[in-house]
A and B are shown apart, each in its own frame.
Chain A
Amino acid sequence: DGGITQSPKYLFRKEGQNVTLSCEQNLNHDAMYWYRQDPGQGLRLIYYSQIVNDFQKGDIAEGYSVSREKKESFPLTVTSAQKNPTAFYLCASSIGSPPTYNSPLHFGNGTRLTVT
């Protein structure tokens, strides 16, 4: 079955360490996205990529980095520069960018990152 796989589901790190969250999709979608969700808040866009080897900053890119070397993969690195990294991280993809009625957003099942 086609879908988006995020791993791990839960991740615990000590403050000051960089951590990389994995996102893989086999939907053959060109566009991929990373969102962050905090309790009681809407999803906020961190980075997005419309095509391989290209990515753009979203609304809250500071303290994060990404790469898009393959169409299927869009890993997110949470660096030690991110002030409040503890959150629920969601990876998504769509056929094209931006997501539209004919190309809606599909999400992975998320990674809960806790930094202490």
Chain B
Amino acid sequence: RKEVEQDPGPFNVPEGATVAFNCTYSNSASQSFFWYRQDCRKEPKLLMSVYSSGNEDGRFTAQLNRASQYISLLIRDSKLSDSATYLCVVLSGSARQLTFGSGTQLTVLP
């Protein structure tokens, strides 16, 4: 089982739609959680950290469920510019370094 698993998609949604991505992680001792955004052939950029109580940043909401070991990202009112690959990232492992999921591809259609 992969340490961090994501549905690869692609998710094709119309502009204005609400879309949610889930990510599961295998190490129950994982400590920190992040969502990164990666545009085609570019470097990943931090979208938001994921806190235990859940957190919101504009149209983006991140949730953490430690009991079920999953993280979610909700995007409301999707924009064309939200089209990208969303990477779930978890801090875990004996070396305490980040583990990246393979990403979920989102395309927002006009």
Contacts and interface: CB of A to CB of B under 8 A. Distances in A.
Interface of A: 33, 35, 40-45, 48, 56, 58, 88, 90, 97-101, 104-110, 112
B100 interface: yes
5 contacts: A41-B102, A43-B44, A100-B32, A105-B98, A108-B43
Given A98-B91, A101-B32, A104-B34, A45 B43 contact: no
Interface in B33-48: 34, 41-46
A108 B42 CA distance: 9
Nearest to B42: A109
Secondary structure at chain B's binding surface: helix, strand, loop or mixed?
Answer: strand
Interface residues of B, number: 24
Top-5 shortest CB links A-B: A42-B100, A107-B43, A43-B100, A42-B102, A98-B96
Given A41-B102, A58-B97, A88-B41, 11 more contacts: A40-B8, A56-B95, A97-B97, A98-B91, A99-B98, A101-B49, A104-B46, A107-B44, A108-B43, A109-B43, A110-B43
A101 B49 CA distance: 6
